[in-house]
Amino acid sequence: MNSSGNGSPLMSRGMVAVIVAQFFSAFGDNALLFATLAVLKNQLYPDWSQPVLQMVFVATYILLAPFVGQMADSFAKGRVMMLANGLKLLGALAICVGLDPFVGYALVGIGAAAYSPAKYGILGEIADGEQLVKANGLMEASTIAAILLGSVAGGVLADWSLLAALGACVVTYALAVIANISIPKLTAARPGQSWRPRAMVRSFFHAALLLWRNGETRFSLVGTSLFWGAGVTLRFLLVLWVPVALGITDNKTPTLLNAMVAVGIVIGAAAAAKLVTLKTVGRCMPAGVLIGIVVAIFALQHAQLNAYILLVAIGVLGGFFVVPLNALLQERGKQTVGAGNAIAVQNLGENSAMLLMLGLYSLAIKLGAPPVATGVGFGVLFALAIAALWGWQLMQKRR
């Protein structure tokens, strides 16, 4: 099979296999997060250790960023995805059998770091430029459906049985590995590169510099980094916000609220696929500013219905904002440094933003900051950051 997707239908065998594999992999990721958080709660870890769990996961992305992009471009991406899901399966098994949850989750993080450049990079190989925004919409829809179901399954099963919740994660990762077998073996995008660590690090940072110097890819890198840093922080904020604002202390409610964001992202991704092209990416910027404003309004709520509605709205705005930026980076990255390298650079930016925001959030909670005030401040800062990015982009265009 050729590595180019030009002329092939969007829902080809390869695309279907990628979407199915992504669903199971993302389902496992989200179910495992809430199951592992329940393990920490069961073992009486302090509240501030919850974001630290995610920081361990995120750190693997940052440390492996110089290497995983080259791996994705040097081998058939479907096989890289299968290996990465195998590592996730081992990490989930480790937690399931009672090993340190931080160690097991770090192993899942290693698998996720290797998986990400391959799963997004393969889209440019099985879908052409005109279909790429739509392909990203499908990927996001699959991911969000998995977040929706995985988060709820993790929280509900953890309330019933921790072992059942962890066992479900193991089974789901096994299904992801099986789905990866069905992805056609594509030609490696950039075979024959040096595997010496120093050369790989040099090549990675050269790719990062090329992407940063380009106005369009720099815009995409900053925008997606801010979005995902904010997204992961909101997920943990919900865990502490729910008992304070709604008076509910179970594991299920935060997962259901997270699921509402997922529902919204599916809608927003579909709208972006219809209304935004690579030439009109700037249309997504107002949605980014509105995300922060709605988060600040959400943090002040005390009624469940209002919380659900506002989280769906946050999701819609998020999907409309991030999908076009992802497609832009994949297309421009494929033309310059390779799609795998471009996604690895994106992962470095996104996960550095996550680590920074989670670190600040964890510090704020440790110092006793109220969850409601933290949410309001977080939303305002995010809106200002996206507004500044939007202004920067408009200035670059005028020049």
Residue-wise pLDDT for 57-86, tens only, equals: 888 888 888 888 777 777 778 788 899 999
Tens digit of pLDDT for each residue in 129-153? Answer: 667 777 777 887 788 788 778 878 8
Is 1 within a domain?
no
What is the secondary structure of 243-276 as a DSSP string? Answer: IIII---SSHHHHHHHHHHHHHHHHHHHHHHHH-
CATH code of residue 18: 1.20.1250.20
Is 7 within a domain?
no
Band of residue 280 on the pLDDT scale cut at 50, 70, 90? confident
The whole-angstrom separation of Cα 148 and Cα 142 is: 10
Is 41 within a domain?
yes
What is the mean predicted confidence (pLDDT) over 42-48? 76
The whole-angstrom separation of Cα 219 and Cα 227 is: 12
The whole-angstrom separation of Cα 290 and Cα 314 is: 8
Is 6 within a domain?
no
What rounded mean pLDDT belongs to the chain?
Answer: 82
What is the mean predicted confidence (pLDDT) over 12-24? 84
What is the mean predicted confidence (pLDDT) over 324-349? 77
- Of 27-41, 118-132, 244-258, 274-288, least confident by mean pLDDT is 118-132
Contact 342, 350 (CB under 8 A): no
Contact 299, 347 (CB under 8 A): no
Is 321 within a domain?
yes
Band of residue 109 on the pLDDT scale cut at 50, 70, 90? very high
**Which residue range is the domain that position 124 belongs to?**
13-186+196-398
What is the mean predicted confidence (pLDDT) over 31-44? 85
Can you read off the two tokens belonging to residue 119?
């799963």
Number of structural domains in the chain: 1
Is 246 within a domain?
yes
The pLDDT of residue 170: 93
The whole-angstrom separation of Cα 218 and Cα 14 is: 30
The whole-angstrom separation of Cα 230 and Cα 210 is: 26
The whole-angstrom separation of Cα 356 and Cα 391 is: 23
Is 3 within a domain?
no
The whole-angstrom separation of Cα 12 and Cα 135 is: 11
The whole-angstrom separation of Cα 278 and Cα 354 is: 26
User: Which of 172, 186, 164 has the alpha carbon at shortest distance from 15?
Assistant: 186
The pLDDT of residue 3: 42
The whole-angstrom separation of Cα 74 and Cα 199 is: 14
User: Which of 326, 319, 340 has the alpha carbon at shortest distance from 132?
Assistant: 326
Instruction: Compute the chain's Rg from CA coordinates.
Output: 20
Contact 312, 174 (CB under 8 A): no
In this prediction, what percent of the chain has a pLDDT beyond 70?
A: 92
Q: Taking the model in full, what pTM does it have?
A: 0.69
- For the chain, the straight-line distance linking the first and the last C-alpha, in angstroms and rounded, comes to 43
In this predicted structure, the answer to whether residue 341 has a pLDDT above a threshold of 80 is no
Distances (CA, A) of 298 to 1, 50, 155, 343, 361: 49, 22, 22, 32, 17
Is 107 within a domain?
yes
